[in-house]
Structure 1
Amino acid sequence: MVLIPEPKGEIKGFITSLECPITYPLKDIVNVYWELWEIEQSYGELKQGQLNNQAVLRSQKVEGIYQELWGILISYNLVRLEMKRMAESHDVEPLRISFINALRLIQDEFLWCSGRTPGTIPKKLQNLRENGKRLILPKKRKRKPFPRQVLYKAPRYPHKKRAAHC
């Protein structure tokens, strides 16, 4: 079961490309859009953070491409799982752990573990989770209680007033 976050405040309107949105309950439409937003954020993290905005598929055969894609998705989920465990060990929400920084920390730890004996891995994982404390992001600030306003922008060039002709 997927837990969908509840939007803060009252939803006063909704823009959609559905042909007949009135036939669907607003709550169902909002839930679907929340799920899509979560998926889009995950794709963004995967493409920008994990893959550094580069195409990394090198295989020339379909089977190899599938294998590479599965490897990327598995590694993404492993980073997310470790972020969840870091958050649990520090009593914060998993969304308060920085994905990019967690990814870099995990990559560094795996490089250090590559030459070690397998028996040291559990201790390394424990140290990794303890180091996750420095990856905790600050709590989000609450929105301002008053609406935003457009500030007056002074013109770039001063202009002279014309003298009135009599």
Structure 2
Amino acid sequence: MTGIMTRWLVLHEYAVEERDRTADGDVTDEAVQRWVDAAWTAYLEHCPVLGRRRERAGLVLRHRTGRLPCGAELGRPTEVVVTASATEIQPSSFAISVRLRPVGGERELPVDVTCRLRLEDEATGEAQELGTGVRDELIALEHSATRFN
């Protein structure tokens, strides 16, 4: 059976270092958090229209990360491949999916995390429409994605 390969915009490869391991040799929860944060942040670097929308309207970008897998779910890999892409676009929010795939250990099944982002009025906390420019930018980025994980 052939697996479905998903295309991703952002791809980072990390050699798992001693600081990324627990005393038992598993990946630490802190390393998982660091890699997830780096992936969704790198995705945003490709979003100048979103940045301009935020700046012009004086909005803040808020993010909420879904349930993070514990580092032990990745096992004891020698490397972790982390990818990110936008997977859901709503009028006032979007989701970036982050996949962490352990390599070179006893487990090679990926784990996924969803990060939800939205523009908010800083004074009221009210979500603001992303607008068609941001929506179009996110769609174009996904069409340009070329990395696989």
- Range class of TM-score, shorter chain: under 0.3
Structure (1 or 2) with the larger CA radius of gyration? 1
The TM-score with structure 2 as length reference comes to 0.26
Greater percentage in strand: 2
Higher helix proportion: 1
The structure with higher relative contact order (CA 8 Å, sep 6+) is: 2
TM-score when scaled to structure 1?
Answer: 0.24
